[in-house]
Amino acid sequence: MSRYQKLLRKSKQRKAVIGIIGLGYVGLPLAIEFAKKFVTYGIDVNTKKVEKFQKGISDIPDVPSSILKKLVVKKKLIPTSNYDVLNHTDVIIICVPTPLRKSKDPDITYILSAIEEISTRNYLGKLIILESTTYPGTTLEVLLPTFSKNKYKPGKDFFLAFSPERVD
């Protein structure tokens, strides 16, 4: 059975594990929605924010603390600052900030940092989705070369996609 078939089967059976990097106004609501059906790790470098989320306290207006707390207590959503949880995921979604520079182009420093964290861990058979706002071509010009360094083949050894950032 191919890696694609295994990932598809786990997803259909709701046994896939999701990892979302960046728990801001896009990442946390996305993590909440996935956690309703899948075990979901929410990863953020802001340890104070992670500690609040671990207590079920939301700082995102679209996410009621009552829903966050319920999913955290049931261990359906696991907020953490530890990137090693990516080794246990099947899908990784990058939802990090991309502030605009003075030149009005997106600063992809946070994307590059997330890519580095993912690339140092096991990503074979995983679907990696870039959801952060960025310039056209980032997926093919930045992510693909990084994840193909180990002679891994996209579409066979790992899967790569871009999804436009959406709050809703």
Q: What confidence category does residue 126 fall into, taking pLDDT thresholds of 50, 70 and 90?
A: very high
Q: What is the pLDDT of residues 22-54, one digit of tens each?
A: 999 999 999 999 999 999 999 999 999 999 999
In angstroms, how far is the first alpha carbon of the chain from the final one?
Answer: 35
Residue 39 to residue 55: CA distance in whole angstroms: 17
Sequential DSSP letters for 8-35: HHHHHTT--EEEEE--STTHHHHHHHHH
Identify any residues that bridge with 158 across adjacent strands, giving them in sequence order: 154
Global pTM reads: 0.94
